[in-house]
Amino acid sequence: MTTGPGLDALSIEELRHRLHDAEETLRAIREGDADAVVVRSADEDTVFALAGGEDSYRAMMEAMDIGAVALDDQERLLYANAAFCALIGCGAADLQREGLFARLDARTADTVRGTIVQARDGRHQTQFVQTHDGADRHLMVTAAPLPLAFGIGSALTFSDVTVRVEAAVAEESERIAQAVIASANEAVVVCDRSGRIINANAAACAVMPGELAGRPFEQAMPLIFPNGSAATRTEDLIAMAGAGKAVKGLEAFAPFASPPKDLLVSVAPLRLTGEAPGGSVITLIDLSERKAIEKRQTLLMHELDHRVKNTLTMVLSICSRTLSGSDGLDDFRVRFTRRIQALAATHNLLADASWTGIDLSAMIRSELAPYLSSSGPRMEIGELDRSVGPDVAIAFGLVVHELTTNAVKYGALSAESGCVTVTGRQLERDLYEVAWTESGGPHVKMPRRHGFGQTLITRSLARGDGTGATVDFAPGGVVCRMILPIEGRA
């Protein structure tokens, strides 16, 4: 191990001292107190690191798959492992000769220096993007203080975290995509290339309850397409998407849904990577509500058409019959106008009730109101809490108008002591009797001729099944009994 001057030249004391040193050195090496030794030779002395010392640390660093670098306090490179050399594409000798920062681009060098500064009080980590061989990559540099014999250096590790970052981005994109599908109002079904469902949102499950994932789409949702549609079978949708074709707005019927639904179906190829479709995305919009509105609108149009025609027919009839019973143009004008006004008043009441039914007492009060006063004549209306349909209401309005006109000209409403009493009575089935009874007026005589007014009264309410009206010209006052089909209570 060591050599020195001739032992025989040394004193006993010195020899003892040398022996103690030698024993102490052996003990230190054996017990691991020393991790390097100096070996002397004639030419030169050499320092060797002992096994388990620096060499084993270096061996471990070389075996690491992350880049490891040690710098002294002057940014001089003390050590760089093979993984780091591979990461920056540089040989160990070149790196040792040129130094770390000479091999880094300016932006990366700034980032690394900044990280070292930040790590003065402890470990610091920075993730950054570096352009390498024309492509961006994500690197993570970690710096920590490195106590050295002569100052504080830096221990750096470099990791390429591109795969991890891209995986995180892809995972986030996937999460967002899933959230978009899940929160979409439309039913969205995603199928793989074979047409098997791999994802279906809540709206899709509302169309077809139960577990959809894993089932072939055509089995899970056997849609029915109208004649002339671009698709004749559900399988056609998958085939279109498989061929890279997108189709929008196909109407389809889903008899399996509860309740059965009208749907608007669109299909598009699912593009993952590359050109070939990786499956299909099918969206289904529930048209049931829209269809119901369309049906209701069509019904209303037909109903309006029917009512306008009826009204025109009625106006023509009123016109011709009023004309034939008039004593001149002025008489016609007055009678015709009043009858049309009565018709209009009934229409107003019907419109106020949205044509869904009308209160009988409201119609009577509306007609009689202009002829009543506190000094007479009077009107007494019993409980008439029944409503009638629009057609019956129009006829009833005209009848009440004719009765009122007669009463004003010849009957109870022509005298201050007169009174018109209207009562109602429920008959069997859905029939209701309204009795118009005049009293207190002039003595009543049977009319000499059967005018339009009487014809209108007796015929317009006749709708079969016992409906209609009768007029009794009793001497004490006219009594008219009208039997109406009713819809319910007002």
Partner 1 sequence: MDRSTELTLYVAGQTPKSVAAIRNLERICKEYLDSSYAVKVIDLKENPRLAREHNIVAIPTLVRQLPVPIQKIIGDLSDTEKVLVHLQLGDAA
Question: Which one of residues 19, 34, 170, 351 is an interface residue with partner 1 (CB under 8 A)?
Answer: 34
Q: How far is the CB of 34 from partner 1 (least distance, A)?
A: 4
Q: How far is the CB of 100 from partner 1 (least distance, A)?
A: 17
6 binds partner 1 (CB under 8 A): no
49 binds partner 1 (CB under 8 A): yes
349 binds partner 1 (CB under 8 A): no
Q: How far is the CB of 101 from partner 1 (least distance, A)?
A: 20
- Rounded CA-CA distance 344/296 in Å is 26
- Rounded CA-CA distance 490/487 in Å is 9
> Which phi and psi (to 5°) does residue 444 adopt?
-95, 135
Q: Are 432 and 386 in contact (CB under 8 A)?
A: yes
465 binds partner 1 (CB under 8 A): no
- Rounded CA-CA distance 27/122 in Å is 37
Tokens of 99: 């130094």
37 binds partner 1 (CB under 8 A): yes
Question: Which one of residues 10, 25, 366, 415 is an interface residue with partner 1 (CB under 8 A)?
Answer: 25
- If the CB atoms of residues 57 and 333 are measured against partner 1, the closer one turns out to be 57
- Rounded CA-CA distance 41/292 in Å is 106
Residue range at the interface with partner 1 (CB under 8 A); choices 30-38, 257-265, 345-353, 386-394: 30-38
152 binds partner 1 (CB under 8 A): no
Q: How far is the CB of 11 from partner 1 (least distance, A)?
A: 13
**Which strands, in side-by-side order, build the sheet including 187-192?**
197-200, 187-192, 279-286, 261-270, 247-254
Tokens of 139: 């690197």
Q: How far is the CB of 143 from partner 1 (least distance, A)?
A: 17
Q: Are 411 and 444 in contact (CB under 8 A)?
A: yes
76 binds partner 1 (CB under 8 A): no
> Which phi and psi (to 5°) does residue 308 adopt?
-65, -45
- If the CB atoms of residues 17 and 248 are measured against partner 1, the closer one turns out to be 17
Residues 6+ apart with CB under 8 A from 429: 465
Residues 6+ apart with CB under 8 A from 90: 103
- Rounded CA-CA distance 33/14 in Å is 24
Question: Which one of residues 15, 19, 28, 202 is an interface residue with partner 1 (CB under 8 A)?
Answer: 28
Burial of 454 (0-12, 13-18, 19+ CB in 10 A): middle
12 binds partner 1 (CB under 8 A): no
- Rounded CA-CA distance 369/391 in Å is 23
- If the CB atoms of residues 25 and 288 are measured against partner 1, the closer one turns out to be 25
78 binds partner 1 (CB under 8 A): yes
For 447, what's the count of Cα atoms within 13 Å in the CB-facing half-sphere?
17
54 binds partner 1 (CB under 8 A): yes
Residue range at the interface with partner 1 (CB under 8 A); choices 52-60, 84-92, 93-101, 475-483: 52-60
Please give the DSSP secondary-structure letter assigned to residue 50: P
2 binds partner 1 (CB under 8 A): yes
446 binds partner 1 (CB under 8 A): no
Among 253, 245, 235, 251, smallest CA distance to 195 is for 235
Question: Which one of residues 8, 12, 150, 448 is an interface residue with partner 1 (CB under 8 A)?
Answer: 150
Q: How far is the CB of 162 from partner 1 (least distance, A)?
A: 32
- If the CB atoms of residues 40 and 306 are measured against partner 1, the closer one turns out to be 40
75 binds partner 1 (CB under 8 A): no
- If the CB atoms of residues 73 and 331 are measured against partner 1, the closer one turns out to be 73
14 binds partner 1 (CB under 8 A): no
Question: Which one of residues 11, 12, 44, 383 is an interface residue with partner 1 (CB under 8 A)?
Answer: 44
57 binds partner 1 (CB under 8 A): yes
Question: Which one of residues 15, 19, 38, 180 is an interface residue with partner 1 (CB under 8 A)?
Answer: 38
- If the CB atoms of residues 48 and 202 are measured against partner 1, the closer one turns out to be 48
Question: Which one of residues 10, 35, 408, 433 is an interface residue with partner 1 (CB under 8 A)?
Answer: 35
- If the CB atoms of residues 18 and 124 are measured against partner 1, the closer one turns out to be 18
Cα-based angle 138, 140, 145 (whole degrees, multiple of 5): 160
DSSP secondary structure, 391-447, as one string:
HHHHHHHHHHHHHHHHHHHTSGGGSTT-EEEEEEEE-STTEEEEEEEEESSSPP---
470 binds partner 1 (CB under 8 A): no
33 binds partner 1 (CB under 8 A): yes
Tokens of 276: 């070939």
Question: Is 483 strand, coil or helix?
Answer: strand
- Rounded CA-CA distance 254/187 in Å is 13
177 binds partner 1 (CB under 8 A): no
| Count of residues touching partner 1 (by CB under 8 A) | 30
One-letter amino acid at 93 equals A
Residue holding tokens 């000479």? 102
- Rounded CA-CA distance 152/420 in Å is 118
Q: How far is the CB of 83 from partner 1 (least distance, A)?
A: 20
Q: Which residues bind partner 1 (CB under 8 A)?
A: 1-2, 4, 18, 21, 24-25, 28-29, 33-38, 40, 44-47, 49, 53-54, 57, 70, 78, 147-150
